[in-house]
Structure 1
């Protein structure tokens, strides 16, 4: 075997370790998917500490794999690591909620504004309206909130941009953390189902400016409700500690 072949063989020998790392990364992504879904469903509400031993044991994964999953979700701004305390589900501040809605307004209104003729495929938006109606009939307000979030994800997808889809996915994942502060999820989610239908109808007509004019107040109203809920929670917490 030539010196060049020997050198190439040495390089390939190192791939065995890389392959093992790929396996861990793939498992970590699956674990992150499980935890992300649990966080979105409210199983781990904001402020909850995620103990490594309990979660790793329940999922049957190593500490290193779990920590990699934690890193993924921390990068997505769903978790936060506190020195000497552990990993917690993030609890957003009012300022972060305001910023979140500011970015949503920029993206969603811009996407709606660009619609000048009926988009070729609005089936995904229609499906989320249908899912929202079904959830409301079941009085499943968590599912209604999920349908509402997916409606906005599909609205942003009308831009046909992978990057916008990724940004909106991250924003809406954070938004699920915010929704958990609402003491009455029905009062928060149900009125927006009707407004989703109005936006859909405008898009079906190809009337982007009308859809944008509906979206602006829609997002402003939702933000005002959330800010009020944050204020009420802070007031309650002060009463408990006084």
Structure 2
């Protein structure tokens, strides 16, 4: 008899499925910054246990999309210039360190493939798909660091980055997105590491400034 007899492996829990669904609603704007996620109301409407909702909300808290406030409970994050700066500084540090390295052929191929998929997504005009491919391109860049721990760290940032990229998608065209990423890829292909670092910094800097402008325009 094996010590693993009777153990069932499930692909995802109900709480994770719920967290994914709530995340999609937040990205789509169904829940705005500062909105409360009322656990009892969500549980009643969806017919799930309140403990399941609480676990889902905790998952969202770990991704940075939700935070707990005293006397209010779980609320959708309200972006601030400080939060934007902190997140994008972490992203810039990782990616500039990555493009300062010379990619192996298979790494360059992975980045090129990710860019081609971004171009395909841009052609559809589907903002969610564009954001997905955008993140995949940058994940491929971070992979140049040859560190599974850093890969995991960046993957952990992607949920919060997805939130901000979704916000940005309302103010930039698919053509803008492709052009900025193509400049980074061209520098990497040419082996011009200084230019690649500069392009990443410029790309991140433009994103931060656009986000700050959007935040400043909020009522």
Please give the root-mean-square deviation of Cα atoms over the aligned residues, in Å: 3.0
Indicate conservation of the 8 Å contact 2:128/2:166, yes or no: no
> Aligned pair 1:200/2:179, yes or no?
no
Structure-2 change in CA distance of 1:45 and 1:119 (3 Å): farther
1:137 corresponds to which of 123, 137, 141: 123
Structure-2 change in CA distance of 1:184 and 1:72 (3 Å): closer
Indicate conservation of the 8 Å contact 1:119/1:206, yes or no: no
* Cα distance in structure 1, aligned partners of 2:166 and 2:127: 12
Give SS of 1:176's match: helix
Structure-2 change in CA distance of 1:201 and 1:211 (3 Å): same
Q: How many residues align?
A: 213
Rg comparison, structure with higher value? 1
Structure 2 unaligned residues grouped into runs of 5+: 1-6
Structure-2 change in CA distance of 1:222 and 1:92 (3 Å): same
Structure 1 unaligned residues grouped into runs of 5+: 1-18, 238-242
Q: In the TM superposition, what is the alpha-carbon distance from 1:93 to its structure 2 partner?
A: 1.0
Q: In the TM superposition, what is the alpha-carbon distance from 1:183 to its structure 2 partner?
A: 8.2
Match of 2:146? 160
Structure-2 change in CA distance of 1:151 and 1:75 (3 Å): same
Q: In the TM superposition, what is the alpha-carbon distance from 1:224 to its structure 2 partner?
A: 1.2
* Cα distance in structure 2, aligned partners of 1:43 and 1:131: 28
* Cα distance in structure 2, aligned partners of 1:70 and 1:62: 13
> Aligned pair 1:170/2:175, yes or no?
no
Task: Map 1:1-242 onto structure 2 (within 5 A).
Answer: 26-57=13-44, 59-114=46-101, 116-182=102-168, 184-187=170-173, 190-233=175-218, 237=219
